[in-house]
Structure 1
Amino acid sequence: MTDQDGYFPESIAATYDESLADMFAADAVAPAVDLLVGLAGAGRALELGIGTGRIALPLAARGVEVHGIELSRAMADRLRDKPGGDAIGVTLGDFSTATAPGSFSLAYLVFNTIMNLTSQDAQVDCFRNVARHLAPGGTFVVEVMVPDLRKLPPGQNTVPFHVGDSRLGFDTYDLATQAMSSHHVKVTEDGQGSFWSIPFRYVWPAELDLMARLAGMRLRERWEDWGRTPFTHDSRQYVSVWEKPAG
């Protein structure tokens, strides 16, 4: 069940950074920031789903003016409470439709967040919304996973992604609709448990390219990761860069 903060209420925002500590480590953040700094140039950057500022804060520290769109007030509050967070503007709303002030040379959407839009129409709307925000020649960057469908034997719809003493995580897939959900189970030392589930819509590279074309953008680059490793049929994630024509 969701509230005004969607699937990221205060109960999730309060421990979000700690629960994803590996993604906040310098070796995970720095390559993304390095690439985004180069794409932003002297212009402004727009982060869709800015969250608690994992990428936005170090990007701003590199001299890029960053503005964010974020549905969750709880996550945006965490960003504002961090050093430098009050210098980053945040527009509250759905990033597929919300309008941020001004124009941007770069827009970006990282860590599978395109899949938080749970319909194809909403994902198409996101690309169109980005195109409206981008200045001519601007770029849109998306980092997203390749669905783990190879791990599904006939008759199975569930793929575990974490199995530990105190935490279990698994994804469920519906191949007919491209719907998936991530499920998280946590058990404390006193034996108390909690459960959190969030819906997604997985998406394929060629599908994203078509969404970009519908929005008037074209693919410029695609890599496996932020370090520009070539994207292959064995890649489990990818970083795509689309460009809005300069004229």
Structure 2
Amino acid sequence: MIDEDGHFGERVAERYDHSTGTEFQQDVIEQTADLLAELAGGGRALELGIGTGRIALPLARRGVPVHGIDMSRAMVARIRAKPGGEGIGVSIGDFATTTVDTTEDGPFSLAYLVFNTIMNLTTQEAQVACFRNVAEHLSPGGCFVIETMVPELRKIPLGQNIVPFHTSPTGWAYTVYDTVTQDATCHYITIGEDGRGEAHTTPFRYVWPAELDLMAQLAGLRLRDRWDSWTRKPFTENSRQHVSVWEKPIS
């Protein structure tokens, strides 16, 4: 799991909620929270990599009790500073292995990972462990939801390994892929008002939909749905991302 100080410490936390990506648009947040609330079915939800509460807070406002797991105390501090944030319990730790005590309130009916967070686990072993950890927390019939990208390897020119994904007058970003190990690193360069540049990197491990299905099978879960997005648009060969739902069998 990525360490807090190296990748999700104070520097990232202080500007995270000011991101301009599609996932931060209010209509996308509302669609996400609506679908997750439906899948929760009146039960509790566990968010892995809860961050600053971008999804947890609107989900809680829909009446879903939410508990989170996150390694970054700096990110979690942002939840605490927001209205309703004190009502959300958070366990500090690696979401591949950290457990939440369900003795008093019972298991969760929903667990979820949004916005490519499964790839923050940078080994296949850790990703497999995450599925098994989730399965232990779910009630029979409960769902595990992952939103993540489809690896963009078709964008890589022959003989190269770099895919740029953001350019602007104040910064740019690109990903360096290793197609043998499925390791990748995102590089971000930001230009401040003083004209000085600042760079940071984030490692991840990209993972294919079929590979996720096998991880789910190893954890005793089975695929229920796969969509292109939170709108439930059908997933196709041209989809750049997917929202997948696995369920824990009732018997």
Same fold (TM over 0.5): yes
TM-score class normalised by the smaller sequence: over 0.9
The 1:136–1:5 alpha-carbon spacing in structure 2 relative to 1, beyond 3 Å, is farther
Q: How many angstroms apart in 1 are the aligned matches of 2:154 and 2:41? A: 39
1:209 equivalent to 2:213? Answer yes
The residue aligned with 2:177 is 173
Correspondences of 1:1-247 after superposition (within 5 Å): 4-20=4-20, 22-102=22-102, 103-247=107-251
Deviation by residue 1:192-234 (Cα, 9 ceiling, x = unmatched): 1100100000000000000000000000000000111110100
SS of the residue 1:15 aligns to: helix
Aligned length: 246
**What is the one-letter code of the residue matched to 2:225?**
E
**What is the one-letter code of the residue matched to 1:197?**
T
- On the 8 A contact 2:3/2:71 being kept in 1, the answer is no
**What is the one-letter code of the residue matched to 1:39?**
L
Q: How many angstroms apart in 2 are the aligned matches of 1:121 and 1:20? A: 32
The two structures have a TM-score, normalised by structure 1, of 0.97
- On the 8 A contact 1:107/1:130 being kept in 2, the answer is yes
Shift of 1:21: 5.8
Shift of 1:28: 1.5
Deviation by residue 1:60-84 (Cα, 9 ceiling, x = unmatched): 0000000000010000111111110
Shift of 1:19: 2.4
- On the 8 A contact 1:5/1:71 being kept in 2, the answer is no
The 1:180–1:3 alpha-carbon spacing in structure 2 relative to 1, beyond 3 Å, is closer
SS of the residue 1:14 aligns to: helix
Shift of 1:189: 2.2
The two structures have a TM-score, normalised by structure 2, of 0.96
Unpaired stretches in structure 2, ≥5 consecutive residues: none
Deviation by residue 1:35-57 (Cα, 9 ceiling, x = unmatched): 10111011100000000000000
**What is the one-letter code of the residue matched to 1:200?**
F
**What is the one-letter code of the residue matched to 2:235?**
F
Q: How many angstroms apart in 2 are the aligned matches of 1:198 and 1:73? A: 18
Q: How many angstroms apart in 2 are the aligned matches of 1:134 and 1:5? A: 30
User: % of aligned pairs identical?
Assistant: 62
SS of the residue 1:76 aligns to: helix
Spell out structure 1 runs of 4+ moving beyond 6 A: none
SS of the residue 2:18 aligns to: helix
Q: How many angstroms apart in 1 are the aligned matches of 2:133 and 2:118? A: 13
Q: How many angstroms apart in 2 are the aligned matches of 1:187 and 1:113? A: 26
**What is the one-letter code of the residue matched to 2:142?**
G
Q: How many angstroms apart in 2 are the aligned matches of 1:246 and 1:164? A: 50
Moved more, 95-104 or 204-213: 95-104
